[in-house]
Amino acid sequence: MNIYENAKEQFANIGVDTENALALLDKIPISLQCWQGDDVSGFENLGQTLSGGIQSTGDFPGRARNASELRAHIDSAFSLIPGKKKLNLHAIYGDVASVSRADITPARFAGWAAWAKARQIGLDFNPTLFSHEKAAQGLTLSHPDKSIRDFWIAHCKACRKIAAFFGRELGLVCVLNVWAPDGFKDIPADTLTPRIRLTEALDEIFSEKADESLSVDAVESKLFGIGLESYTVGSHEFYLGYAATRGVALCLDAGHFHPTEVVSAKISAASLFIKRLLLHVSRPVRWDSDHVVILDDELISIAREVIRHKLTERVFFGLDYFDGSIDRIKAWAIGARNLRKALLIALLEPYERLREREYAFDFTARILMLEEFKTLPWQAVWNEYCKRADVPANLAF
């Protein structure tokens, strides 16, 4: 009996079908973030300094300098990652010459659509509301100057059209995620009016209902950013309320909360009131520092919350980190592989047995089983998954 067959038998003894788990795992797409490949620089204005609470550190050689290089690097990463994949683009990554962000069109991203179609993958998309002269004061959609608000509203509307274009071209739903870095470095006197302006701007952006067979709109909160430490207009409470009342998806970023908060604790509660969730999987270290995702307890807990409560049809998974201190291609692969490992661990859990003990108030059995399950040979199942996907496993990677 080989190692996988032995593991298969061990999991069968606790009521888990490893073949079923692998089949379910293979259906869950993970969206890789394009900005890991070039430290969030984009191709709109090469050499532009990052702003809006965005900061990438490290000078590892090999940063992609144009769309062709970036696509080649993503292909290299894809070759190391088993399972279904998507790519998440920001608006500053278009192929053709730069135009005003308010005027970008699908034609600017036709090269990306063709590349994705050839690989039979989907594309996700994001307006870029940072690193721009009209974001220099730390406010965009909540800016008191209506002309600046209108510029960013036009940009977001243009991005929604691009998202729908991707959905039509590729036959796969594109998630359009709006994150605005609006806030203040020091304590503001008026915390309400910027939120009123942001609400009105978002309502205008989403005034035309999306065809959700093509694209799904999402909104993303943040605790703070560099230069925006004291007040963020789009807080978690703001976007939770907005998503619940407007019917858009809510993005929960693992790095966008207080260090004592975890995204895994929010998923089941939010799922009761929010139709769809977008999970941006990152790893904060003291702040939203976007470190490469590792297989830690929180990552496994995020995966378990989605798998245990059968939310895979309502949850989108996307990576969100940018680390220029290590090989950028391997960074993509490490993070994506770890997220898929976490999903596999969750799928190999005998959840119904745990729930039975919990409902019987047998908490001793519950913790005993949870601890013993940690030593079951999920790694052998992972290795089998990699073998079938023809990607390297373990240290062969």
Interval 74-132: pLDDT, tens = 999 999 999 999 999 999 999 876 789 999 999 999 999 999 999 999 999 999 999 89
- Per the structure, how many domains does the chain have? 2
Which of 48-62, 92-106, 252-266, 270-284 shows the lowest mean pLDDT across its residues?
Answer: 48-62
Instruction: Examine the residue annotation and report whether 203 is marked as an active-site residue of this protein.
Output: no
Instruction: Examine the residue annotation and report whether 256 is marked as an active-site residue of this protein.
Output: yes
Active-site residue, from 86, 143, 155, 222: 222
> Which distant-in-sequence residues (6+ apart) come within 8 Å of 396 by Cβ?
none
For residues 174 and 251, membership in a common domain is answered with yes
Q: Is 47 a residue whose pLDDT tops 60?
A: no
pLDDT (0 to 100) of residue 259: 87
For residues 233 and 342, membership in a common domain is answered with yes
For residues 111 and 202, membership in a common domain is answered with yes
pLDDT (0 to 100) of residue 68: 94
Mean pLDDT of the region 302-318: 98
Active-site residue, from 35, 112, 179, 332: 179
Which of 110-124, 186-200, 283-297 shows the lowest mean pLDDT across its residues?
Answer: 283-297
Instruction: Examine the residue annotation and report whether 280 is marked as an active-site residue of this protein.
Output: yes
Active-site residue, from 39, 124, 182, 253: 253
For residues 395 and 263, membership in a common domain is answered with no
For residues 229 and 359, membership in a common domain is answered with no
Q: Is 62 a residue whose pLDDT tops 70?
A: yes
Q: Which domain holds residue 264?
A: 23-347
Instruction: Examine the residue annotation and report whether 179 is marked as an active-site residue of this protein.
Output: yes
Active-site residue, from 290, 298, 323, 349: 290
For residues 273 and 374, membership in a common domain is answered with no
For residues 153 and 259, membership in a common domain is answered with yes
pLDDT (0 to 100) of residue 1: 61
For residues 114 and 255, membership in a common domain is answered with yes
Active-site residue, from 182, 220, 305, 349: 220
Instruction: Examine the residue annotation and report whether 86 is marked as an active-site residue of this protein.
Output: no
Active-site residue, from 38, 320, 349, 384: 320
For residues 259 and 373, membership in a common domain is answered with no
pTM: 0.95
For residues 225 and 342, membership in a common domain is answered with yes
| pLDDT band for position 299 (cuts 50, 70, 90) | very high
Active-site residue, from 85, 90, 280, 291: 280
The CATH number given to whatever domain includes residue 33 is 3.20.20.150
For residues 181 and 94, membership in a common domain is answered with yes
For residues 265 and 230, membership in a common domain is answered with yes
Active-site residue, from 288, 298, 323, 384: 288
